[in-house]
Amino acid sequence: MSILVNKDSKVLIQGITGTQASFHVRRSVDYGTRVVAGVTPGKGGTMHLNVPVFDKVAEAVRETGANASVMYVPAKFVKDAVREAAEAELDLAVCIADGVPIKDMMEIKEMLRGAKTKLIGPNTPGIITPGEARLGIFPENIHRPGRIGIVSRSSTLTYEAVIETNRAGLGQSTVIGLGDDMLIGMDFIEILDLFMKDPGTDAVVMIGQLGGTFEEAGARYYKSLPDKKPIIGFVAGNAVPFGHKMGYAGDVITKGHVTAQDKKDVMTDSGMVVVDKINDIHLELNKIFPRND
């Protein structure tokens, strides 16, 4: 099992004819992802990478039954791309672009309130269910099918968490990069809720970073659960002194006055096992799921 995407997901690519999109779509198709359509205004009726291209998302959905999208569009076009995805009632949209204006993201958040469409990102590597579907830019070769869910605010450290679950011999059910920006779509609460309900996920690795209060909110949600799966947590930024500005957009919210230790304390209080070093994750996983080899 998995969450949000699997081998049956029908994926359309917004901005499919761009250079970066072409590179990653080709890799996703080779991985086995069902890419059924592309959307590039003005290029409808053509083919690209053996995929039919449409002018509008709604048209692509109507003709192909697509239920998820990946947006390879510049930041200034993200708001329009999300609007199209929401109006077409896609289940999921993944936004790779970084630097989406805050004003646009505020409008996007309001736009998606009560909508069917869930947004991952912006500024995310995407989502991957190993062996089934890759939506985004994940280095697919490091992933192994398994039963550990991974959700992360740090794009690069997501890959480290994947390697740690591999070292534990457990692999991943689904891996999600929430995105590094100040305002994002889905958050820890929503993703943890899905993992807790997923019969194919036995435990979760949660990676946080300085800036914002997403980790604290996720921890409070986890603490409130009467029944819960184990979570191994890590927060990047241990060596940063109190008040230091990291440069992450999310750091603006707390003005630098929430340390990694503050976040770790809240996560520990919730019942999560929090490690000081990311390469200790596999050790904690092996305590929960002892290896027989």
Answer yes or no: do 279 and 200 share one domain.
Answer: yes
Would you state the pLDDT for residue 23? 97
Lowest-pLDDT choice from 53-62, 70-79, 157-166, 284-293 = 284-293
Could you tell me if residue 135 is inside a domain?
Answer: no
Answer yes or no: do 273 and 150 share one domain.
Answer: yes
Answer yes or no: do 114 and 167 share one domain.
Answer: no
The mean pLDDT of 146-166, rounded to a whole number, is 95
pTM here?
0.93
The sign one gets for the Cα dihedral 53, 54, 56, 58 is negative
Domain count, the chain: 2
Is 172's pLDDT higher than 60?
A: yes
For residues 210 and 258, the answer to whether their CB atoms sit within 8 Å is: yes
The mean pLDDT of 92-99, rounded to a whole number, is 96
Query: 91: which DSSP letter?
Result: S
Answer yes or no: do 154 and 37 share one domain.
Answer: no
Could you tell me if residue 160 is inside a domain?
Answer: yes
Answer yes or no: do 175 and 115 share one domain.
Answer: no
Distance CA 50, CA 290 (A): 46
Find the domain containing 84 and state its range: 1-123
Quick one: what percent of the chain has pLDDT higher than 70? 92
**CATH number, position 76:** 3.40.50.720
Candidates 235, 248, 234; CA nearest to 205 is 234
Could you tell me if residue 208 is inside a domain?
Answer: yes
Could you tell me if residue 204 is inside a domain?
Answer: yes
Would you state the pLDDT for residue 213? 84
Would you state the pLDDT for residue 293? 65
Residue with tokens 């029944």: 227
Tell me: the pLDDT tens digits for 235-271? 987 655 444 444 444 444 454 446 788 899 999 999 9
Candidates 52, 7, 72; CA nearest to 33 is 7
Could you tell me if residue 134 is inside a domain?
Answer: no
**CATH number, position 252:** 3.40.50.261
